[in-house]
Amino acid sequence: MKVSIVIPVYNERSTIREILKRVQAVKLRISKEIIVIDDFSRDGTRDILKKLRMPNLKIFYHEMNRGKGAALSTGFNRATGDIVLVQDADLEYDPKEYPSLLAPILDGRADVVYGSRFQGGSHRVMFFWHYVGNKLLTTFSNMVSNLNLTDMETCYKVFKKDVLKRINLKSKRFGFEPEITIKLSKLRCRIYEVPISYAGRDYSEGKKIGWKDGVAAVYHILRYGLFG
């Protein structure tokens, strides 16, 4: 068994070395490969990546900025593991959570695992309205998908590779989260949630998602929920 850790990157010069160091340091009971997709960073991230030499690290470069969803699609297509895990390139999510995220799949209970920021893990106190937005989007997604997730927008999503092969992803940006969730529900996958910690960052620290992405998420929930 092997897990492919897919990391989309866009302008993460200040964190890319540290996140890769943390991912490499995690000890797992299965082997791992790390797949980084640079989505045309312009802040020096590419220069850092081109100088890195780490075991089991594969780096791919987009020649134009195509969005997080497109970067993930590139990574999924390049993954050779039996399991695929999504990791953001910032430091909001802690790779030390990998064992608990992988356990339901390795134990044969799940096809997909979501890491929930709202199930009791420690978290940095941040924006109230982001919290409200996340809860509203998750509730709306649950109404359409008939799931009972607590955190649809979480970065930490883990899939059996054969599940991903059955899904044709179309979203190029942050629409990936609702799209994959709706399509997983239609496949009737066994989905588990596990609690995770969360160290959110603010916009001065490089946070990119905004209110327009929330509006777009509503559109994607309706689009994929009603029309496939």
Q: List the CATH number of the domain containing 194.
A: 3.90.550.10
Above 60 in pLDDT, residue 21? yes
Sign for the CA dihedral angle at 139, 141, 142, 147 comes to negative
Beta bridge partners of 191: 112
CA–CA separation, 129 vs 159, rounded Å?
30
For residue 146 the two structure tokens come to 């008939």
Contacts of 80 (CB under 8 A, 6+ apart): 2, 4, 33
Mean pLDDT of 39-44: 97
Nearest Cα residue to 196 out of 85, 123, 117, 126: 117
3-class DSSP state of 169: coil
The model carries a pTM of 0.92
**E strands, the chain, where?**
2-9, 31-38, 57-61, 83-86, 112-116, 157-160, 191-195
Sign for the CA dihedral angle at 42, 171, 115, 142 comes to positive
Above 80 in pLDDT, residue 113? yes
Above 60 in pLDDT, residue 206? no
Per-residue pLDDT band at 203 (split at 50, 70, 90): low
3-class DSSP state of 116: strand
Above 90 in pLDDT, residue 134? no
CA–CA separation, 138 vs 144, rounded Å?
10
Report the domain count for the chain.
1
Q: CB–CB of 142/148 below 8 Å?
A: yes
For residue 205 the two structure tokens come to 């620290």
Above 70 in pLDDT, residue 174? yes
CB atoms within 10 A of CB 219: 11
**What domain range is 141 assigned to?**
2-227
Residue type, 120: G
Query: Mean pLDDT lowest for which of 11-25, 167-181, 208-222?
Result: 208-222
Residue 52 Cα distances to 20, 36, 58, 159, angstroms: 10, 11, 10, 27
